[in-house]
Chain A
Amino acid sequence: MAEIVTTPAVAPQRENAGESGGTPANRARGGRRRTLIAYLFLAPFLILFLTFVVAPAVFGLWISVTDYSPFSDVQNFVGLQNYIALFDPNSTFSGDFWQSMGATAIFVILSVPCLVLIPLGIALLLNRKIRAAATFRTVFFAPYVLGVAVIGVIWGYILDTQSGILNHLLGLIGLPDEIPWTVNVPWVWVTLVGVTVWWTMGLNTVIFLAGLKGINGDLYEAAALDGAGPWRSFTSVTIPGLRPVMLFITTTTVLASANMFGQSYLLTAGGPGNTTRTAIMYIADQGLSQNNMAPAAAMSYILFAFLAVISFVNFRFQRERVERTVA
C-alpha cells in the first residue's frame, strides 16, 4: 500500500528536478528546445523513412496506374486497368493472384492462433520461479536469430519424405514413415506452420514474458485472497493485464504470417502445384523475375489494402476491449 501512495509523489519531484528555471517563459523555451532536440534525434530515421518507405510507396502507386515496362522509355497512364485486370477472370494474372492470396489466407488462419497461444503458454511457464529460466528463454528464442535460408536447409533435411530424420523416427515407433512433409497436401501446411512456429515463437514469447512481468503481483495476491483459483486468476488478472500486449502481438503476427515467403519458397517450392505459393512469392516473381512490374505493383497494393483493413479491425476490436477493461 505504502508504495502505491509514494509513487505519484515521487514523479512530480523528478519532473521539477529536471526543469532548469522557474518562469513560464523559460519553461516554454526549454520545451521548444526539447522538441527541437527530439526532432533532431528522430531526423535520421525520418530521412530513411522518407527515402526508403514513403518515396518508393508513391512510386509504386504511380507504377500501378501505368503500363510501366522496363523495355519502353515512356510510360502511359492507364488508370485503374491493372487493378481491374486482377478482378477479371480472363486476365493472365487474376487466377494465380487470388489463388496465392488464398494460400496466404490459409497460412494466416492456421499459423496465427499457434503463434499466439503457444508463446503465451511458454511465457506463463517461464514466468514461474523455475530454475534455469534464463536458459529456457534462450532456448526458445534461439531459432529466431537464424536466417530463413538456414531454416530451409535444416528442415529440408529433417523433413525429406524418404530420407528425412523425422520420418525415420516415426518409423521407429511404428507410425507411418512415408509422410510427404514438404511435397503433398495437407502435410505441407503442417510443415509450414510448424516450422514457422518453431522459428518465430521465441519473439512472441519474450514479448509476452515482458507483459507478464508488468502485471502487478499484488493483483494476484488480492485475487487469491478473494478465493480465485489459478484459472480464475488467469482469466481475470493475466488476460486483462496482457491485452495491450495481445493487441500488439496479434497485429504483428498476422502481418508477419501474411508476408510468409522464404519457408514455402525453400521448403515446398510453392508446391504441390501452386498450392503453397503465397501472395508475396507470386508478386515478387511477377514483378522482379517476369518484368510485369505494373501488375505486380497493383497486386502489392491490394495485399496492402487487405492487411490494412485486417489490422484496423483488429485494432478497433481489441482497443475497445482494452478501454472497457480499464473503465
Chain B
Amino acid sequence: MKWDEFFVTGDPMIYGADVSIVLTMVGILFYLTKYKKWKWLWDEWLTTVDHKKLGIMYIVSAVLMLFRGGVDALLMRTQLAVPEAKFLDSQHYNEIFTTHGTIMIIFMAMPFLIGLINVVVPLQIGARDVAYPYLNAVSFWTFFIGAMLFNISFVIGGSPSAGWTSYMPLASNELSPGPGQNYYLLGLQIAGIGTLLTGINFLVTILKMRAPGMTLFRMPMFTWSSLVTMVIIIFAFPILTVALALMTFDRLFGSHFFTLQGAGMDMLWANLFWLWGHPEVYIVILPAFGMFSEIISTFSRKTLFGYKAMIWSMLLIAGYSFLVWVHHFFTMGSGALVNSVFSITTMAIGIPTGVKIFNWLFTMYRGKIQFTTPMLWSLGFIVNFVIGGVTGVMLAMAAADYQYHNTYFLVSHFHYVLIAGTVFACFAGLIYWYPKMFGYKLNERIGKWVFWVFTIGFNVCFFPQYFLGLDGMPRRVYTYSEESGWGPLNMVSTIGGFMMGIAFLILVYNMYYSFRYAKRETTGDAWDGRTLEWSTPTAMPPFYNFAKIPEVTGLDHFWRQKQAGKVEKLKAEDIKPIHMPSNSGVPFIMASFFFVAGFGMVFDWMWMAIAGIIGVFATLFYRSFEYDDGYYVSVEEVIETEKISK
C-alpha cells in the first residue's frame, strides 16, 4: 500500500483538516505536559468508574460529534444552496451525507442521551452507583473508540460513502472499494458493544438499585423512559451486531449474504438493518420524552398529568417499534398485503404518542408556568415535533409513500422528529441538569438567544424542504439543474442551516461565559425540583451520591417533602461508611486494543487485527483474575464532604 492510498490526498479541505488535527493534538499534548496534567487526566477521568464523570465524558464526546456532524451538514447545505454548484464533487458529497447521518444518530444523539442517563438516573432512583460501575467504563470507552475509529476515516483511508443505511449491493466491495465502508462496519460494531452493555447495566440498575420505597410506579418519568429504552437496546442491538458482522464477512472473507453473486439477498440487509434501525429511532426518542416530562412538570409546578398513561403509552410504543420496520422500504417490492400491514402498525404508533402530547399539554394546563430555557426547549419541542409527527403519518400511507419516497419530504420529516425531539431534548436536559454536573447554571439570557436562533433557523432550514420534496427533489443528490426551479427554496434552507450553526456557537460561548461568570449554586436544588437528584445538599453530588440513602413514600417524594416543610437534615449519627468501587485503567486499555483490532480489519491487515483481538481477550482474562472489592469511604470523610455540623 502506498502513502497516498493510506492518507486521503488531493483536496485542500482535507489538508486543512490534517493540519488542524495535528495542531490540536500537539496543543493538547503540550498543555497536558506543561501543566503536569497527565496524572490528573489518568486518575480523575481515564480510569474513573463514577457514573457522573462517565456521563460528562459521554456528553463532551457527543457535543464534539455534534460539531463534526454539523460541519458535514453545512458543507452539504453550501453545495446545495445554488443550482449546479462546484463546491463539492459527487463522491465527496456522498461521503459527507454518509458520515453526517451515521455520526448524528450513533455518535451524537445516542451518546448524548446515554450521557444524561448516566448522570441523572442513579441519582433519580436514590442509588449510590450503577449496578456495574466497571462495566459502565467499558461501555463508555468502547463507544468512544468506535467513534474515533469512524472519524479518522476522513483523513486516513477514505470515508464510507454508501449512506448511513449502507444498502447492498452499493456497500459491496465492487461498488464501494477501499476501506471506507469497513470503517463504518467496525466503528459501529465496537460502539455497539458499549451500547448493549449500557442496556444491561441500566436495566439492572433501575430494577435492583432503587431506594427503599421507590416502587416501579413511583419512579420519575425520565427513569421510566430509560428503563424502556434499555429493553429496546437489549433486543435491538444484537440484530445490528449480526447485520454488521455478516456484511463484514461479505467484504473481508468472501461470503455471500447480501451479494448478487452466490445467490445472496440484498433485501436481507435492508430488513436486518431496519429491524434494528427502527427501534433505534425510539432509543433516541423515548429518553427525550422522559426529559420533557420532567422539565414540563417541574416548570409547571404540577405533578405530571396521566403518569400511568404516560408509562403504558411508552411501553406500547416500545412494542410497536419492532413491528414497523418495512415502512422504510415500501417501494422496494414487498407487495400490497405486507405494505398494508406495516402501514397500519406504523400509523398506530401515532396513538400512544398522541396520548403523551396531550398529557404534556394537560400538565401545563392551570400550572404556574416558568419560562426558563429548558421549558422553552420543551414548548418548542411540542410544536415542532407535532409537525414532524403529522408528516410521518402522511409517509406511513404506503400508497402515498410512492410519491414522497426518497425525496426531501422524507428528509424534512425525520429532521423534524429527530431534531425537535432528540436534539431539543439534549439541549433542554443539558441546561436543566447542568448545575448538577458543574455546580452552576448556564446563563439564561444567552440561552434564550440560542433557543430562538436555533428554532427559527431549524424551521427556516427544514420547512421549505417539505415543499422541495413534494416538488420532486430527491434526497442524496449533490446538485440539481437551474430548470428544476428548486434553487430559491434551497437557498432559504441553507440560510436556516447556517442559523443553526450560529446557535451552536452561541451555546458554546454560553458554556464559556457561564464557566467564567455564572453565580455558583449553594444548594443542590437549583430549579426547585421535584425528584431525588435535587435533594443532595451540595450543589454537585459527591462521588458517592447520597450520604444517606433516601426513603421514598410516593411520586415526587422530594417535592412533597418540601411542600410539607419536612425535608430531613443529615445528622452525623446517621452516617455509616460507604462502600465504593475502585477506579480501573483496564476499560481504557481494553478499548485501545479494540481500536487496534478494528483498524487492522479496516485495512484487511489480519496480523494487526489478530494482535488487537488477543489484546482484548488478554484484558478480559486479566480482569477476571482481579479481585478488587473496592473500598470504604469513612464517616469522617462523608461528614467533611457534606459539611454537616456536629
Q: Do A and B assemble together?
A: no
